[in-house]
Structures are given as structure tokens and as C-alpha cells.
Amino acid sequence: MGGLVNLPNNLRQFYQISRFLPRPTKEGVVNAIVTSRLDYCNALLYGTSAINITRLQRIQNTAARLITRSPRSDSATPLLRELHWQPIVCRVDFKLLVFTYKAMHNDAPVYLCELVCPYQPTRTLRSANNDMLEVKRTRTKAGDCSFAIAAASLWNNLPTVIKTCDNLTSYKRLLKTHFFVSHISVIRHEHY
């Protein structure tokens, strides 16, 4: 989170000049300054504390209010919906699931491909044909947050139509729509 340290200061500085800029320019600047930093290595944030997620969500909400010139008292949920931005939790899950898709199709580094194991039951079950991944048991919270476990858990909860997608572009589009429809109301704290 080192690159995020100065982000609130950058937003404050940008706010001072934002009223002189048209909305498309503001969106471009915010994407360059804020969104790129929120998305950088965010797959590592899977399972992090609610405090860290809340801090990042607060930054995203502030950026949305800056673009739309909304007062701080306004709820961020409609603003995120208007901008087609996913909450931080969904962005983390999205990144993990994209890595999982690439690993399953051998389009990722070998070390990630080796961590993704298709589910093969010992006897004939209906779940054998559902494109499931094997979720290994762990004894620690850190183990549950590892790529192999997190990827399999998230993948197994996806609808079959998304899991059986034949190319990465369509997969990303369907996945983003799935998160947008089912998780836009996940934002835990709307008033920052």
C-alpha cells in the first residue's frame, strides 16, 4: 500500500483545480492517479482486514464524489453505479478470478497454473461436470487467503455460464457484469 500513502493528498490537490476541468478530463486524471493505484497488486488484498478495505473504499468514494462534484454527505453507492465502478472488495475478487481463468487456460505463469487443480471426485457425482476447482483444507486464516484456496473458492461460486466462457474478453465482461449486478450494494460504509 506504499503507493497509496500520498493518494489523499493528491486528491486534495486535484480537487482545487477540478472545478475548471470538464468531466471527461477529470475521469481520465482520476483513473490515472487513483484507480491505477487501487488496482495495482490488489489481488494481494484478498482476506485483508475490514479496516484496510474501508480505507481504500473511502479513497474510491472520494474520487467518485470529486468527478461528479457531489457533496460529502451524498451516498457513494449511486455515484459508483453511475461511473460503473465496482467496490474495492469486488475489484480484488475480479483480479483473482481473472488470474484463475488465465491459469486454467495455461495463459498464466507456470507457478499459478500448478496451483489451480480441477475438482475430480473419487466417485461419480453430478458436481464432476460443473467446472469446479478443488478447494484444499487449511488450518489458518493465511492459508485460506492463499491463491490456491481463494481462487478455487471464488471460482466455484461463479455461475456456470461465466466459467465456461471461451475467451478472456468475454469472460471479463461477464464477470464484471456479474459483480456489478450482485455486489454493487456491498459497500459497507457509504458516508465517508
42-54 pLDDT, tens digit each: 888 999 999 999 9
- Evaluate whether 152 touches 86 at the Cβ level (below 8 Å): no
C-alpha separations of 93 from 14, 42, 61 in Å: 29, 9, 19
Segment 125-178, tens digit of pLDDT? 555 566 888 888 888 888 888 898 999 999 999 999 999 999 999 999 999 999
Which of these, 102, 87, 84, 96, lies nearest to 157 by C-alpha position? Answer: 96
Q: What is the separation, in whole angstroms, between the first and last Cα of the chain?
A: 20
The pLDDT value recorded for residue 186 is 47
- 41 vs 120: which has the higher pLDDT: 41
Q: Which segments of 19-74 does DSSP mark as H helices, in order?
A: 23-30, 36-39, 50-68
Decide which of 172 and 11 is more confident: 172
Q: What's the pLDDT score for residue 41?
A: 87
